[in-house]
């Protein structure tokens, strides 16, 4: 069984610890825990590891957030991974900071990375793990908020929240989405 896990974010040091890059941060933590190393390849930084008989491919698209679908679609085709074995990790302003919610499919809710994945892969019928970043911004300040760094307090709790997200990814790949949602969703 093969799985493709895409963590969304933007490349470049200026985006490294921003809220919008939580998908990259979670995959970095998961790869490190599994002893896997990312390598730059076509449209993404990619690594893979084996876990309980599954081959898990992690990608961090290098296409920037708004064109994430290009990388997801390429690797889905190249690796011959079915849509039910794809999981996208993304930030979500509708959830309080640190809350995690997995869904089997759903709307892009105005998230440009998810919107592009929907367009490139032919629909929204893929799993997503939404990582809450909160919505502590004034009207018209959303872009600045998601592209800014976590607060000191949020950074202190981030390792715990990212570990839970990593556990959810491994659970998705082993016991499936329904049981993972029942066990982990906030």
Bridge partner residues of 15 (DSSP): none
Q: What is the pTM of this model?
A: 0.95
| Mean pLDDT score, 4-31 | 95
**φ and ψ at residue 160, rounded to 5 degrees:** -65, -45
pLDDT band for position 117 (cuts 50, 70, 90): very high
Express each pLDDT in 43-76 by its tens digit: 999 999 999 999 999 999 999 899 999 999 999 9
**Burial (Cβ within 10 Å: 0-12, 13-18, ≥19) of residue 89:** buried
Q: What is the pLDDT of residue 141?
A: 82
Look at residue 181 and tell me whether its pLDDT is greater than 90.
yes
Chain centroid to CA 128: how far? 7
Express each pLDDT in 70-110 by its tens digit: 999 999 999 999 999 999 999 999 999 999 999 999 988 88
Look at residue 186 and tell me whether its pLDDT is greater than 80.
no
Enzyme catalytic residues: 20
Q: Distance (Å, rounded) from C-alpha 16 to C-alpha 25?
A: 8
Q: What is the pLDDT of residue 110?
A: 83
Q: What's the chain's average pLDDT?
A: 95
Q: What is the pLDDT of residue 139?
A: 86
């Amino acid at each position: 069984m093969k799985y493709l896990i895409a963590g969304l974010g933007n490349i470049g040091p200026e985006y490294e610890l921003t809220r919008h890059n939580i998908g990259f941060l979670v995959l970095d933590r998961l790869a490190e825990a599994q002893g896997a190393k990312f390598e730059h390849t076509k449209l993404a930084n990619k690594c893979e590891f084996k876990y309980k008989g599954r081959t898990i491919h992690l990608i961090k698209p290098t296409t920037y957030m708004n064109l994430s679908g290009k990388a997801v679609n390429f690797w889905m085709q190249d690796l011959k991974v079915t849509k039910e074995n794809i999981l996208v990790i993304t930030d979500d302003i509708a959830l309080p900071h640190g809350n995690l919610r997995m869904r089997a499919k759903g709307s892009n809710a105005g998230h440009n990375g998810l919107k592009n994945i929907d367009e490139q892969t032919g629909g929204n019928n893929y799993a997503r793990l939404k990582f809450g970043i909160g919505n502590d911004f004034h009207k018209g300040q959303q872009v600045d908020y998601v592209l800014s760094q976590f607060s000191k307090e949020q950074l202190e709790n981030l390792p715990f929240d990212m570990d839970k997200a990593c556990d959810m990814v491994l659970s998705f790949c082993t016991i499936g989405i329904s049981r993972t949602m029942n066990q982990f969703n906030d």
